[in-house]
Each structure stands twice: as C-alpha cells, then as structure tokens.
Amino acid sequence: MGQGKHSLLAAVLKTYLCAKGFKLSLQTLLMNRAMLLKAGDVLSNLEISRFFDVCTRRGIRYSGNLKTGVRHVVLITVLDKTPEESLENPYRDRFEGDLLVYTGEGRVGDQQMTRGNLVLKMQMEKGFPVYVFEKKSPGRYVFLGRFNVEDFQTEQQPDVRGKTRKVFVFTLRRVGDFILLSTENTASLPKL
C-alpha cells in the first residue's frame, strides 16, 4: 500500500475512533503502534499474553488483581473437542443461539467461587471488558469478540476423573466484534 493510502486509512480510522471517544494520535496509527483485532483474527498464545498482559495458562486470564481491580479478562474456550480431549478438558462450553455458555474454572471436585470464577461474577457489576478466544489447535486462537457476562448458575458436570460435581456456568453475550490494541502499552486496552 502506498504511503498516501496508508495515511488516508489511518486518518479515517482516527476519525472513527475519536467519534467513539478515544484519544489517539495519527502518528500512533501511522507508526504501527496500534493494531485492530477483529472477530475471526488468529493470535498465538504468546501474542494473547503480550497484547492483553495476561498469563499464558488457564482458561480465565485477567489483567490486574482482585484487590486493586481487574482491567480486563481473556477467556479461552474449546468448543469442538475429540473424546480424548474431553477427558483432559471436561468443560462443556457451547453456544446456545447467540449466547456463549462458559464453564467456570476447576477441573476436580466442586468448583469454588474464587479466582477466575469470582472475576467473571464481578464483571456483571464492574463492567470491565471480557475478550473471548476459541482455541482451534495448539498455537491457534481465534478471536470471537468482546463479551459481557449476563448471568451465571450451577449445573452438574463430570470432572476429569469422571465424577459428577457442581460447576459454575456463565452466560455471555457478544457486545463487540473488534478492539484496538496498543502494541506499546498493552496494559490499557480501550473498549470499542
């Protein structure tokens, strides 16, 4: 793409983002210090960790902490599993219509309302962003969008040992199909 077209595209994006209330310089966009992530885009696990300032393990990953505040959450879901994968990953995540039904964390015994489960419950009150990725294969995570937790309940599901136990099931609704990531300061992600 020629320099003129690149500048025009950045100017159009800046105008749109400013209309949405963001303060972003044209220079930041032109210097490739920002990246637009759209539903369907694929990232690696390390890219997710870097861009969102979260750990590389766990299904519920959050930036910040429970004492000082959570900035945002990254959820990793596996929707299509082989029978072998289901033994290691007993969670029954699924879409029901346009709602994502996401099983809380804890693979053995009854789940507890702590850590990631508590963070998802808090999201209903605090409103921090939840970004959802579907793990397709090792190293390939597809961005599904930005979601809000609408409700949660408990249901019975097997754990990794095959024993029935109580799990938290969170219902999430998609509220956005793209976000703007800063590749300079990944700790502060704007909401779109």
84: in domain: yes
54-58, 71-75, 177-181: which has the minimum mean pLDDT? 177-181
Q: Can you tell me the distance from the alpha carbon of 171 to that of 98, in angstroms, rounded to the nearest whole number?
A: 10
Handedness of CA 58, 174, 97, 41 (dihedral sign): negative
CATH number for the domain harbouring residue 144? 2.30.280.10
Q: Residue 171: which of 105, 104, 109 has the closest Cα?
A: 104
Phi, psi of 117 (to 5 degrees): -65, -40
Alpha carbon of 44 to those of 41, 50, 93, 140: distances in Å? Answer: 10, 10, 21, 5
136: in domain: yes
187: in domain: no
More confident residue, 148 or 2: 148
Q: Report yes or no: 52 and 61 within 8 Å, Cβ to Cβ.
A: yes
- Based on the structure, what is the number of domains in the chain? 2
More confident residue, 84 or 112: 112
Q: Residue for token digits 């044209």?
A: 26
Tokens found for residue 104? 């809380």
Q: Can you tell me the distance from the alpha carbon of 53 to that of 189, in angstroms, rounded to the nearest whole number?
A: 10
Residue range 76-84: mean pLDDT, rounded:
81
Expressed as residue numbers, the domain containing 27 is 1-32
Our CA angle for 130, 56, 35, nearest 5°, is: 55
192: in domain: no
More confident residue, 31 or 69: 69
Pair 64, 2 in one domain: no
Residue range 113-126: mean pLDDT, rounded:
95
pTM of the model: 0.78
Q: Report yes or no: 181 and 34 within 8 Å, Cβ to Cβ.
A: yes
